[in-house]
Structure 1
């Protein structure tokens, strides 16, 4: 039957996919940490005030 075969993985392809996923996770965590460090200060500078919500 077409489409039911189990594909064989080339080890280089599997390593490439793993490296790309690892890089994506590192970037996600890194940018999240950077946003927590710099985000509040940047919003205060750009918007003014703590929350940035006008009352």
Structure 2
């Protein structure tokens, strides 16, 4: 039957997928930290200096 074969993993493919996942996690953490550092200041500038934004 066609299409029911179990795929085999090429080591290079597995390393590429792992590298992409690591890069995604690093970008997620990096942008999250950047948003925490810059976000409040940027919101104060956009809102117009309102003290309500923490």
| TM-score normalised according to structure 1 size | 0.81
Alpha-carbon shift at residue 3 of structure 1 (Å): 2.6
List alignment gaps of at least 5 residues for structure 1.
Answer: none
Runs of 4+ in structure 1 deviating by more than 2 angstroms, as ranges, are 1-4
Q: Does 1:16 align with 2:16?
A: yes
RMSD: 1.1
List alignment gaps of at least 5 residues for structure 2.
Answer: none
| TM-score normalised according to structure 2 size | 0.83
Structure 1 segment 1-55 matched on structure 2, within 5 A: 1-48=1-48, 49=50, 50-51=52-53
Looking at structure 1, the residues matched to 2 and 34 of structure 2 have their Cα atoms a distance apart, in angstroms, of 48
Q: How many residues align?
A: 51
Looking at structure 2, the residues matched to 47 and 20 of structure 1 have their Cα atoms a distance apart, in angstroms, of 37
Higher RCO, 1 vs 2 (CA within 8 Å, ≥6 residues apart)? 2
